């Protein structure tokens, strides 16, 4: 005899939703129901399929590592049922709930009878395999500097002779040395320096290292990605980079180190970009981006890292275009910074991003200065467009004279937005508050950023309007936790992962970051900073981060599917194309947005 509630639930649960009523009632009659209370341990020792009906359960490995959370419609035990191998996992109840157990016989019968159900569980199993596989295995494409550098650094004092340096190099079998004075990095010296600056110049072996070393070398943070090192080396045409940790030098990384670690890294594209001598060459390079994206996806690089890679490529294209422009136009009449806004600034660019850039100039844009930078902007923006990064439909580009301003001009612009924040102005301008310098002077940019942050931290009215703007759109979740689908002219119905998901979180996190004067613009790093400074509860920060990652991941995968099927890349995801698992997680993610928006409202929109 079936219980209606049980068969009703199974009828709504993938993969059982494909069974007929009579099959469902047969299946539901073979279920045992167990009630579990928070903190309680769930029996998983038996040879049964566990189906979560209600509640939340955390799955821990035998090393007490949290593997995943299970909730309504999730399964456990199929691993053991499929392979016969026993996991020593623990399932802990976090929120009171009901569990259905289906015994092995009924499970197998169901699997043999219905191919689709069998396939569903096989897929679930293989996904679980790669999900929890040792993380070391697939980090090849996103290695960090810290993953490949030697632990000990080899340094020499500037007053030592070049002969000492040569001896130390050959003893340690390295091609370069850090030069340190009282534990402080003052320069580097390479074997090429010994050749070019000592031997070729006929200097004696007693020449002091400090005399021939490269002073104030470029450096890179120990936690940066490897491809960022490639990027810097290519950009400045150097082969050695001192590695810093918390501003203190800890090692040296050379081009050879990188090549050794990544023989076939697709991000060599960046190196390739920096070697191009024409826009046409850059265009050829950019045609490899889609293929690179697919490779990254095949390697299961998480979306946020892939976004970082894509952004770095856009940065490289921009830098090279500026280089080429300078070759054509001559040296610029004054110092400038090339700025990026929006997703490029946040380093979470996707494949369908358009341009958002501007120029910050040392001098007022009049006369010759204006002529030069107008030409430069024209060259770079159209070059980028040729490379597939489409022109901004909102004209937020350096080609727009309103976006080629001096420090004073920009500062005045931002001050106006902050001091008299009309809702429309805020809505339009919120994109400008995520900005990053891509090329040119960092100092000039830092001055502007400091200026902006100083103004935003003490501006409750501005933050109020910014928060209001961030709250204008809500997650597409209905009253009964159902998805609200959107219609698009070209594509059918779906969930707009960007407009109703990722952007909401980006906007929300920006308000907090600006209120706290945080210089980071990347959403994940902003969240880390906010949690570190205690501005957001660390658990909330983690939740937002998870929701953000999830939606970014779903969008990334959607883009991949579009690419492979030869469609235009779209942010609209039809829930039907999602696995039951992903659907639940996405609903959860949307719920996180709702909660976070509630807190944002409380924090910034209360006293007004």
Tokens linked to 17: 């939703």
Q: Is residue 207 within the footprint of another protein (CB under 8 A)?
A: no
The closest alpha carbon to 601, from 477, 483, 497, 507, belongs to 507
Query: 398, 381 in Cβ contact below 8 A?
Result: yes
- Angle in degrees, CA 533, 539, 540, rounded to 5: 85
161 contact partners, CB below 8 Å, separation of at least 6: 205, 206, 207, 208, 209
Least distance to another protein, CB of residue 37, Å = 4
Name which position in 32, 83, 390, 538 contacts another protein (CB under 8 A).
32
DSSP letter for each residue of 138-159: G-GGG-BHHHHS-SS--EE-TT
What whole-number distance in Å separates Cα of residue 158 and Cα of residue 149?
23
Least distance to another protein, CB of residue 318, Å = 54
Q: Is residue 418 within the footprint of another protein (CB under 8 A)?
A: no
Sheet architecture: strand order including 56-60: 66-71, 56-60, 90-95
Q: Is residue 22 within the footprint of another protein (CB under 8 A)?
A: no
Least distance to another protein, CB of residue 479, Å = 17
What is the Rg, in whole angstroms, of the alpha carbon atoms belonging to the chain? 28
Name which position in 30, 109, 261, 542 contacts another protein (CB under 8 A).
30
Piece of 22-30, 130-138, 257-265, 319-327 that binds another protein (CB under 8 A): 22-30
Which strand (E) or helix (H) includes residue 545? helix 538-564
For another protein, the closer CB: 96 or 574: 96
The closest alpha carbon to 407, from 319, 334, 333, 326, belongs to 334
The closest alpha carbon to 508, from 461, 544, 543, belongs to 544
Residue written as token pair 């129901």? 33
Least distance to another protein, CB of residue 48, Å = 10
Q: Is residue 12 within the footprint of another protein (CB under 8 A)?
A: no
Q: How far is CA 168 from CA 195, 197, 213, in A?
A: 16, 18, 15
Per CB under 8 A, contacts with another protein among 476-535 are none
Q: Is residue 101 within the footprint of another protein (CB under 8 A)?
A: yes
Piece of 25-33, 165-173, 213-221, 307-315 that binds another protein (CB under 8 A): 25-33
Per CB under 8 A, contacts with another protein among 41-100 are 53-54, 96, 98
Query: 159, 210 in Cβ contact below 8 A?
Result: yes
For another protein, the closer CB: 16 or 512: 16
Query: 349, 310 in Cβ contact below 8 A?
Result: yes
Name which position in 18, 37, 327, 519 contacts another protein (CB under 8 A).
37
Least distance to another protein, CB of residue 97, Å = 8
Report helix angle 104-113 to 115-132, nearest 10.
Answer: 110
Q: Is residue 10 within the footprint of another protein (CB under 8 A)?
A: no
Query: What residue spans of 220-275 are helical by DSSP H?
Result: 226-236, 255-261, 268-273
Residue written as token pair 């006293």? 607
Q: Is residue 40 within the footprint of another protein (CB under 8 A)?
A: yes
Q: Is residue 28 within the footprint of another protein (CB under 8 A)?
A: yes
Least distance to another protein, CB of residue 99, Å = 9
Least distance to another protein, CB of residue 357, Å = 52
For another protein, the closer CB: 76 or 341: 76
Q: How many residues does the chain have?
A: 608
Name which position in 34, 60, 323, 491 contacts another protein (CB under 8 A).
34
Least distance to another protein, CB of residue 52, Å = 12
- Angle in degrees, CA 510, 516, 545, rounded to 5: 45
Q: Is residue 433 within the footprint of another protein (CB under 8 A)?
A: no
For another protein, the closer CB: 196 or 482: 482
Name which position in 10, 19, 24, 31 contacts another protein (CB under 8 A).
31
Piece of 23-31, 240-248, 341-349, 502-510 that binds another protein (CB under 8 A): 23-31
Name which position in 21, 22, 35, 390 contacts another protein (CB under 8 A).
35
Q: Is residue 410 within the footprint of another protein (CB under 8 A)?
A: no
The closest alpha carbon to 61, from 83, 76, 82, 39, belongs to 76
Q: Is residue 463 within the footprint of another protein (CB under 8 A)?
A: no
Binding-site size for another protein (CB under 8 A) equals 23
For another protein, the closer CB: 26 or 553: 26
Q: Is residue 576 within the footprint of another protein (CB under 8 A)?
A: no
Piece of 3-11, 59-67, 240-248, 588-596 that binds another protein (CB under 8 A): 3-11
Residue 300 falls in which region: left (phi positive, over 0), alpha (psi -120 to 50) or beta? left
Residues that bind another protein (CB under 8 A): 1-6, 9, 28-37, 40, 53-54, 96, 98, 101
């Amino acid at each position: 005899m079936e219980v209606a509630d049980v068969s009703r639930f199974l009828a709504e649960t993938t993969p059982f939703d494909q069974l007929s009523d009579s099959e469902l009632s047969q299946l539901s009659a073979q279920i045992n129901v167990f009630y579990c209370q928070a903190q309680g341990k769930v029996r998983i020792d038996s040879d049964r399929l566990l189906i979560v009906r209600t509640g939340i359960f955390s799955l821990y490995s035998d090393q007490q590592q949290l593997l995943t959370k299970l909730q309504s419609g999730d399964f456990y035990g199929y691993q053991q049922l499929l392979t016969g191998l026993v996991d020593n996992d623990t399932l802990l109840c976090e929120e009171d709930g009901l569990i259905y157990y289906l015994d092995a016989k009924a499970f197998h019968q169901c699997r043999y009878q219905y191919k689709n159900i069998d396939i569903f569980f096989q897929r679930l199993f293989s996904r679980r395999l790669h999900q929890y596989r040792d993380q070391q295995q697939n980090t090849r494409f996103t290695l960090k500097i810290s993953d490949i550098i030697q632990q000990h650094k080899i340094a020499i004092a500037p007053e030592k002779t070049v002969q000492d340096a040569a001896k130390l190099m050959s003893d340690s079998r390295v091609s370069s040395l850090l030069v340190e004075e009282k534990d402080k990095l003052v320069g580097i010296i390479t074997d090429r320096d010994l050749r070019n600056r000592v031997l070729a110049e006929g200097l004696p072996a007693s020449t002091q290292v400090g005399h021939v070393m490269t002073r104030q070398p470029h450096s890179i943070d120990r936690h940066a990605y490897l491809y960022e090192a490639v990027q810097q080396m290519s950009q400045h045409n150097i082969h050695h980079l001192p590695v810093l940790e918390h501003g203190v030098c800890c090692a040296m990384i050379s081009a050879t180190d990188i090549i050794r670690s990544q023989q076939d890294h697709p991000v060599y594209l960046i190196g390739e970009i920096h070697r191009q001598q024409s826009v046409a060459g850059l265009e050829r390079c950019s045609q490899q981006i889609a293929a690179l994206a697919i490779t990254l996806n095949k390697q299961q690089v998480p979306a946020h890292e892939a976004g970082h890679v894509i952004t770095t490529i856009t940065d490289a294209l921009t830098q090279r275009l500026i280089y080429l422009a300078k070759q054509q136009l001559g040296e610029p009449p004054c110092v400038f910074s090339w700025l990026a806004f929006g997703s490029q600034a946040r380093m979470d660019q996707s494949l369908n991003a358009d341009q958002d850039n501007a120029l910050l100039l040392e001098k007022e844009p009049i006369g010759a200065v204006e002529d030069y930078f107008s030409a430069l902007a024209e060259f770079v923006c159209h070059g980028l467009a040729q490379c597939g990064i489409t022109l901004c439909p909102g004209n937020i580009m350096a080609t727009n004279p309103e976006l080629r301003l001096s420090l004073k001009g920009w500062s005045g612009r931002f001050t106006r937005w902050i001091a008299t924040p009309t809702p429309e102005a805020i809505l339009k301008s919120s994109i400008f508050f995520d900005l990053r310098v891509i090329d040119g002077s960092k100092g000039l940019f830092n001055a502007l950023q400091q200026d902006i942050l100083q103004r935003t931290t003490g501006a409750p009215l501005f933050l109020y309007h910014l928060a209001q703007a961030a709250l204008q759109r809500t997650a597409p979740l209905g009253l009964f936790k159902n998805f609200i689908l959107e219609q698009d002219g070209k594509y059918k119905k779906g969930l707009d992962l960007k407009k109703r998901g990722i952007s909401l979180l980006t906007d929300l996190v920006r308000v907090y970051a600006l209120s706290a004067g945080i210089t980071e613009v990347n959403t994940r790093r902003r969240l880390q900073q906010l949690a570190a400074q205690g501005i957001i509860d660390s658990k909330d920060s983690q939740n937002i981060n998870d929701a953000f990652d999830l939606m970014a991941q779903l969008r990334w995968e959607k883009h991949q599917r579009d690419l492979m099927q030869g469609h235009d890349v779209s942010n609209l995801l039809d829930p039907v194309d999602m696995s039951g698992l992903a659907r639940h997680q996405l609903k959860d993610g949307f719920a996180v947005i709702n909660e976070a928006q509630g807190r944002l409202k409380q924090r910034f929109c209360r006293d007004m």
